[in-house]
Amino acid sequence: MRPSAVRLLNILVPIKRTVDYAVKIRVNPDQKGIDLNVKHSMNPFDEIAVEEAVRLREKLKDEVKSIKVVTIGPPKAAETLRTALAMGADSGIHIEVSDSAPALEPLGVAKALRAVIQREKDGVDLVILGKQAIDDDAGQTGQMLAGLLDWAQATFASKLVVDPKAKVAEVTREIDGGLEELKCRLPLVVSTDLRLNEPRYASLPNIMKAKKKPIEKLTPADLEVDLTPILESVSVAEPPKRVGGGKVENVDELIAKLQEAGFTAVKS
């Protein structure tokens, strides 16, 4: 009996260039946005996504045919793609928008990603992306993409095991109150949670190699997608300031402060 053709995995990892997580952001005086003249990096959850794709290849070897990374962003976003390529992705797609373009919305991003997936000649079997971007903290893109494609979805993944032959994946998710395990058919959208893995630092040789990896440049028009935001950004403001109170010298003083505020032990 002839063995059936092994389906090779084509993995797509959408990534976002965001303000670096360690930057102390400042709201602009015009209250329309934050000061973006600061260090930017790959969204930490997307780093985890890239890492997971690379680890899948390390585990499944030739069964992973391609790892493509895609980003929607200004010209500088190409640097973020290069970082992903240095981590081990094969090629990149840069959907370029202008520096002054309004902030992206999850629905627009999902539509662009759907268009990217639909034009991939070899198809896409697995999309791995961060559960949320640390700038807008929206956490919707993965679910929206899965919905548009009518694919299976597994959000907040803390463990991912893929069986390309059986075309299924087992995903453990972090949920309120604990963990949940799902069995999902491919094609599948997975969004990453913190504990899925610890991303590698790209080595210098890999950074050099990455310079030669191809990046395809596209515009939203090429994908027939309109990224104009639907929601209107009215303002961006500082949160109410929390000022630290004083320090106490010892536990007795601490207890006194607690009592002042009405906190005592419960009757056991």
Partner 1 sequence: MLRVRPALTASGISRRYATAAGPHALVFLEHRAGVIDSGSLSALTAAQQLGGKVTGLVLGAPEEVQSAVETAKKLKGLTAVLHSSSAQYAHAIPETVSPLLEKLLSDGTSYTHVVSAHSSSAKSILPRVAARLDLPAVSDITSVEHDNASNATTFTRPIYAGNAISTVRAPGSVRVKFFTVRSTAFKASAADDATEAEAAAVDPVEVADPPTQHVRTDLTKSDRPDLGSAGRVVSGGRALKNAETFKATLEPLADALGAAIGASRAAVDAGYADNSLQVGQTGKVVAPELYVAIGISGAIQHLAGMKDSKLIVAINKDPEAPIFQVADVGLVADLYDAVPELVQKLKQ
Site string for partner 1, 178-207 (x = CB under 8 A): xxxxxxxx--x----xxx------------
x/- site string to partner 1, residues 159 to 178, per CB under 8 A? Answer: -----------x--xxxxxx
Contacts (CB under 8 A) with partner 1, residues 209-268:
230-239, 242, 244-255, 257-258, 261, 263-266, 268
Report, in Å, the least distance between residue 249 CB and partner 1: 8
Residue from 12, 13, 49, 145 touching partner 1 (CB under 8 A): that is 145
Cβ closest to partner 1, residue 106 vs residue 164: 106
75 versus 263: smaller Cβ distance to partner 1: 263
Q: What is the 3-state secondary structure (H, E, C) of 69-110?
A: EEEEECCCHHHHHHHHHHHCCCEEEEEECCCCCCCCCHHHHH
Q: Measured from the CB of residue 265, what is the shortest distance to partner 1 in angstroms?
A: 4
d(CA 217, CA 70): 10
d(CA 122, CA 207): 27
Of 57 and 173, the one with the shorter C-beta distance to partner 1 is 173
Distance CA 89, CA 209 (A): 11
Site residues for partner 1, 43-102, by CB under 8 A, read: 45
Q: Which of 86, 110, 116, 223 binds partner 1 (CB under 8 A)?
A: 110
- Strands 178-185 and 168-175, sheet pairing: antiparallel
Which is it for the CA torsion 135, 139, 141, 144, positive or negative? Answer: negative
Question: Taking CB under 8 A as the rule, which mask of x and - marks residues 15-34 in contact with partner 1?
Answer: ----x-xx-xx-x------x
Q: If binding means CB under 8 A, how many residues of this protein chain bind partner 1?
A: 85
Q: How many CB atoms lie within 10 A of CB 156?
A: 24
Under a CB-based contact definition with an 8 Å cutoff, are residues 15 and 43 in contact?
A: yes
> Which residue's CB is nearer to partner 1, number 32 or number 217?
32
Whether 124 contacts 117, CB under 8 Å: yes
Which residues does residue 216 pair with via DSSP β-bridges, in sequence order?
93
Least distance (Å) between residue 57 CB and partner 1: 24
Nearest distance from C-beta of residue 24 to partner 1, angstroms: 7
Q: Contact, 190 vs 128, CB < 8 A?
A: yes
